[in-house]
Chain A
Amino acid sequence: MPSTKKVVAMILAGGKGTRLESLTKKTAKPAVSFAAKYRIIDFPISNCANSGINTVGILMQYESTQLDAYIGNGKKWGLNGVHCLMSTLAPKQTEQGANWYRGTADAITQNIDFLDNANPDYVLILSGDHIYKTSYSEMINLHETSGADVTISVIEVDPKEASRFGIMVCDDKDQIVQFQEKPKNPVSNLASMGVYIFSWKVLRKYLKEDEVNPDSEHDFGKNIIPQMLADKRKLLAYRFKGYWRDVGTLASLHEANMDIALDKGELNLYDDASTQIYTEDVYSVPQYVGKRGSIKRSIANQGAIILGDVDSSVISTGVVIENDTKVTRCVVMEGVVIKRGAKIHNAIIAPNSVIEENSEINLGKDEVVLVNTVNK
């Protein structure tokens, strides 16, 4: 039963993604390719569509042109229907002057008009760079029935990794009693996924106060959540079960791609139509595997031409892998050409890059390298 409450999703997609190196030189991190045919942001947007959330704002700042064009009117995710509104929200000039988004919370504050117009009961805050398939309905229901001011989606992480996340301590009713943003000495392994549902009236009040606080970094994790905790507001944890990855580094991006190529079964793109991921479909012939080509333990998208030997890799649209090549454990992004005789291992190959004839790249190495011949 869908909730009768109105939910608006705001997807934070403005980060620079420095740790993805030159992959994000001309592309915002959420627009980076993933799993042969998707872009990272397809995941949270499709999750919204599949949860019946029809109003979605995309907050962008860094290299927004490509991302803005990709989002369009939301048609790719069906969010151009009569009850839908898909809007890209970049920083703008106002009477008060022109401002960059000063933090995740400030990005929302600067678009308070968008939310006031939409007039939601709840606001769902999402990150544009997480890979997971879900319906938010269960979390929304929990938020509604519990009467919480904010519900935060949490996942158990490896204790050694815990200091990379916002860490929470809960009581026996999953009410959050302590919150540490990227702590040196984490007190638990319950990490925030950066997915929040706020009651809009409460959030609005906190954003307005935060806006004029000179000591604030205007960040949800650093400022808004700790302030609400200090005010003894009701903060609830929602325990997420399933596959979830932050693909903010080359290694994690590579690993998440491999999870799908090697069909590990944790993130299944092939079952359950109710959590399908939607994306842009290009008009090209199906992928072609040549007479001497070979492809195993891999995924490949339409328009790819595979004449060489591919193992444990991700082959995107329009990729050409010529004869006598060997491609292993690679994430080959759209339009890449791997020329005759080249051998390449454990690499992410940036869009439209060309791997020269007979070159040997990263053979026998365990560490993932980025190859980018376009935006160096």
Chain B
Amino acid sequence: MNKVIGFCNLHTEPHLGEITKNRPLAALSFLGRYGIIDFTLSNFSNSHIDNVYVLVRKGIVSIRRHIGSGSNFVNNTVLGSIQLLINEKGLSNKPFNTDINNIKENFDLDEFDFDYAVIAPSYFLSSMDFRPLIAKHIESGSAISVVYKHVNDADKEYIQCDKLKFDPRGRVIKSSKNIGRTNEADVSLETFIVSKKALKKIVDSVSKVSELYNIRDMVNFFIEEEVVDVQGIEFDGFVVPILTLEGYINHSLDLLNYHVRNQLFQENWPVYTTTHNTPPALYGKDSDVKNSFIANGAIIKGKVTNSIISREVVIEKGAEVKNSIIFTRSVIGKDVKLERVLCDKNVSISVNKKLNGEPNETLVISQGARI
């Protein structure tokens, strides 16, 4: 049996402005109880890939706080593990803080026992079983496979992602940036399946090609220069791309819809997360909640519409929260009105305030703010 390891790659995460200023995207709250990284880690776990290395670019403390010992994610807590890796040299020399250098610094690939590695980013949320994809990779005989998705909304989504073209055998012959000129495209999900030999080739190439390249850049270079065969493998499941702030908010609110939600959350494919022993949510006598997610530990005494309320949030009496996302432990005071607002953690908004964003121009309130 082949030994497969997983890399959850956080080096190429997009910036979502204020909410990712002090934390990696991977540690960002999602739907009131998850962290973005939970989806990729659960995909590894549910695919029975139990040795996972998280390639951390920055903010290792928030990642560690979220993942803990990793025992919530692995199948066997003795044999399995989730290890967080950082590129120490890269911390002081940011351009060199790449995923390849992170692997290079932490592993002697000759000594490291595995046959294949799956490298997946955090920001494409899906329920993805890696096992059939690995089987296709092996069958193709290619050195590297890239998982892609055929989409119809490339004019609006997946901007700046790689758009792939294939030969009749499914080998990638061209990779170019999606700048939104067509609706239809085969976009890379930046998920790579590599043999040990191919990973070694990627790592060894940096000295000849560029020390600044991430795996994604190096694979594109390989395609361009026809260095090795790169196979495209289609994923036909549902994907939620978290690439921009408005994308994050719109997709989160879209998931309030039962039919959308059922595409991301599949039966027999649990999404694991760190649990907090918070009590059930408490609804007061004047609570008025419509079309919203309410996480445990929340206390709802006011009105909540089309919104996502995270753990231990308090919505006071007379408050109205609409089309908004409220992060953990924020307090929305009496008679406060919020529309299209994202409150980061531990925000406190005092009585009677009225705060409004606009569609696609969400008002973001920074962590810990007192307003």
Contact surface of A with B, Cβ cutoff 8 Å: 35-37, 263, 269-270, 276-279, 281, 283, 285-302, 314-315
Q: Report Cα–Cα, A204/B209, bound state, in Å.
A: 77
Q: When the two chains form their complex, are residues A290 and B290 in contact, meaning their CB atoms are under 8 A apart? A: yes
With a 10 A CB-CB cut-off, give which of B265, B275, B282 has the most chain A CB atoms: B282
Which of B10-18, B189-197, B292-300 is the contact stretch? B292-300
8 chain-A/chain-B pairs, Cβ below 8 angstroms: A35-B279, A279-B277, A286-B296, A287-B294, A294-B288, A298-B283, A302-B280, A302-B295
Taking CB atoms, residues of chain A closer than 8 Å to B284 are 263, 296-297
Q: When the two chains form their complex, are residues B290 and A36 in contact, meaning their CB atoms are under 8 A apart? A: no
Given A285-B33, A286-B296, A288-B293, does the pair A300, B281 have CB atoms closer than 8 Å?
yes
Q: When the two chains form their complex, are residues A300 and B280 in contact, meaning their CB atoms are under 8 A apart? A: yes
Q: Report Cα–Cα, A296/B304, bound state, in Å.
A: 12
Given A37-B296, A286-B293, does the pair A299, B281 have CB atoms closer than 8 Å?
yes
Which of B109-117, B122-130, B266-274 is the contact stretch? B266-274
Taking CB atoms, residues of chain B closer than 8 Å to A270 are 279, 282, 297, 299
Given A270-B299, A279-B277, does the pair A286, B294 have CB atoms closer than 8 Å?
yes
Contact surface of B with A, Cβ cutoff 8 Å: 31-33, 256, 258, 261, 265, 270-273, 275-277, 279-297, 299, 308-309
Taking CB atoms, residues of chain B closer than 8 Å to A35 are 279-280
What's the nearest-Cβ distance from chain B to residue A229, in Å? 40
With a 10 A CB-CB cut-off, give which of A35, A269, A289, A297 has the most chain B CB atoms: A289
Taking CB atoms, residues of chain B closer than 8 Å to A293 are 289-290
Q: When the two chains form their complex, are residues A288 and B275 in contact, meaning their CB atoms are under 8 A apart? A: no
Taking CB atoms, residues of chain B closer than 8 Å to A301 are 280-281, 296
Taking CB atoms, residues of chain B closer than 8 Å to A287 are 281, 293-295
CB-CB nearest 9 A-B residue pairs? A281-B275, A269-B279, A36-B280, A299-B280, A286-B295, A289-B289, A286-B293, A286-B32, A301-B280
Q: A289 contacts which of B261, B275, B282, B291 (Cβ < 8 Å)?
A: B291
Q: Report Cα–Cα, A156/B279, bound state, in Å.
A: 28
What's the nearest-Cβ distance from chain A to residue B268, in Å? 12
Q: Apart from A287-B295, A288-B292, what are 5 other A-B pairs with CB-CB below 8 Å?
A: A269-B280, A285-B33, A286-B296, A295-B283, A296-B287
Q: When the two chains form their complex, are residues B286 and A296 in contact, meaning their CB atoms are under 8 A apart? A: yes
What's the nearest-Cβ distance from chain B to residue A199, in Å? 33
Q: When the two chains form their complex, are residues A283 and B296 in contact, meaning their CB atoms are under 8 A apart? A: no
Q: When the two chains form their complex, are residues B296 and A296 in contact, meaning their CB atoms are under 8 A apart? A: no
Q: When the two chains form their complex, are residues B33 and A302 in contact, meaning their CB atoms are under 8 A apart? A: yes
Taking CB atoms, residues of chain B closer than 8 Å to A283 are 270-273
Taking CB atoms, residues of chain B closer than 8 Å to A289 are 289-292, 294
What's the nearest-Cβ distance from chain A to residue B256, in Å? 7
Q: Report Cα–Cα, A4/B277, bound state, in Å.
A: 29
Q: Report Cα–Cα, A270/B281, bound state, in Å.
A: 9
Q: When the two chains form their complex, are residues A295 and B290 in contact, meaning their CB atoms are under 8 A apart? A: no
Q: Report Cα–Cα, A65/B249, bound state, in Å.
A: 45
Taking CB atoms, residues of chain A closer than 8 Å to B265 are 285
Taking CB atoms, residues of chain A closer than 8 Å to B275 are 281
Taking CB atoms, residues of chain B closer than 8 Å to A302 are 33, 280, 295-296
Taking CB atoms, residues of chain A closer than 8 Å to B299 are 270
Taking CB atoms, residues of chain B closer than 8 Å to A263 are 282, 284
What's the nearest-Cβ distance from chain B to residue A39, in Å? 13
Output the nearest chain A residue to B294 by Cβ-Cβ distance: A287
Taking CB atoms, residues of chain A closer than 8 Å to B282 are 263, 270, 298-299
What's the nearest-Cβ distance from chain A to residue B251, in Å? 14
Q: Report Cα–Cα, A301/B290, bound state, in Å.
A: 16
Q: When the two chains form their complex, are residues A286 and B31 in contact, meaning their CB atoms are under 8 A apart? A: yes
Q: Report Cα–Cα, A35/B288, bound state, in Å.
A: 21
What's the nearest-Cβ distance from chain B to residue A16, in Å? 28
What's the nearest-Cβ distance from chain B to residue A276, in Å? 6
Q: When the two chains form their complex, are residues A286 and B279 in contact, meaning their CB atoms are under 8 A apart? A: no
Given A277-B279, A296-B284, A299-B283, does the pair A285, B294 have CB atoms closer than 8 Å?
no
Taking CB atoms, residues of chain A closer than 8 Å to B288 are 294
Taking CB atoms, residues of chain B closer than 8 Å to A294 are 288-289
Q: When the two chains form their complex, are residues A295 and B287 in contact, meaning their CB atoms are under 8 A apart? A: yes
Given A296-B285, A302-B33, does the pair A285, B293 have CB atoms closer than 8 Å?
yes
Q: When the two chains form their complex, are residues A278 and B280 in contact, meaning their CB atoms are under 8 A apart? A: no
With a 10 A CB-CB cut-off, give which of B296, B299, B308, B309 has the most chain A CB atoms: B296
Q: When the two chains form their complex, are residues A291 and B291 in contact, meaning their CB atoms are under 8 A apart? A: yes
Taking CB atoms, residues of chain B closer than 8 Å to A297 are 283-285
Q: Report Cα–Cα, A344/B304, bound state, in Å.
A: 26
Q: When the two chains form their complex, are residues B31 and A276 in contact, meaning their CB atoms are under 8 A apart? A: no
What's the nearest-Cβ distance from chain A to residue B29, in Å? 11
Q: Report Cα–Cα, A206/B261, bound state, in Å.
A: 61
What's the nearest-Cβ distance from chain A to residue B254, in Å? 13
Q: Report Cα–Cα, A291/B285, bound state, in Å.
A: 19
Q: A281 contacts which of B261, B276, B293, B294 (Cβ < 8 Å)?
A: B276
Taking CB atoms, residues of chain A closer than 8 Å to B281 are 287, 299-301
Q: Report Cα–Cα, A283/B266, bound state, in Å.
A: 12
Q: Report Cα–Cα, A111/B285, bound state, in Å.
A: 49
Output the nearest chain B residue to A37 by Cβ-Cβ distance: B280
Given A288-B256, A290-B291, A291-B291, does the pair A296, B280 have CB atoms closer than 8 Å?
no
What's the nearest-Cβ distance from chain B to residue A263, in Å? 6
What's the nearest-Cβ distance from chain B to residue A310, in Å? 8
Q: Report Cα–Cα, A298/B289, bound state, in Å.
A: 12
What's the nearest-Cβ distance from chain A to residue B40, in Å? 15
Q: When the two chains form their complex, are residues A296 and B270 in contact, meaning their CB atoms are under 8 A apart? A: no
Taking CB atoms, residues of chain A closer than 8 Å to B290 are 289-293
Taking CB atoms, residues of chain A closer than 8 Å to B293 are 285-288
What's the nearest-Cβ distance from chain A to residue B306, in Å? 9
Output the nearest chain B residue to A270 by Cβ-Cβ distance: B279
Taking CB atoms, residues of chain A closer than 8 Å to B261 are 285
Q: When the two chains form their complex, are residues B271 and A296 in contact, meaning their CB atoms are under 8 A apart? A: no
What's the nearest-Cβ distance from chain B to residue A143, in Å? 29
Output the nearest chain A residue to B304 by Cβ-Cβ distance: A289
With a 10 A CB-CB cut-off, give which of A276, A287, A291, A295 has the most chain B CB atoms: A287
Q: Report Cα–Cα, A278/B275, bound state, in Å.
A: 11
What's the nearest-Cβ distance from chain B to residue A225, in Å? 35
Output the nearest chain A residue to B272 by Cβ-Cβ distance: A283
Q: Report Cα–Cα, A292/B284, bound state, in Å.
A: 18
With a 10 A CB-CB cut-off, give which of A293, A294, A297, A302 has the most chain B CB atoms: A302
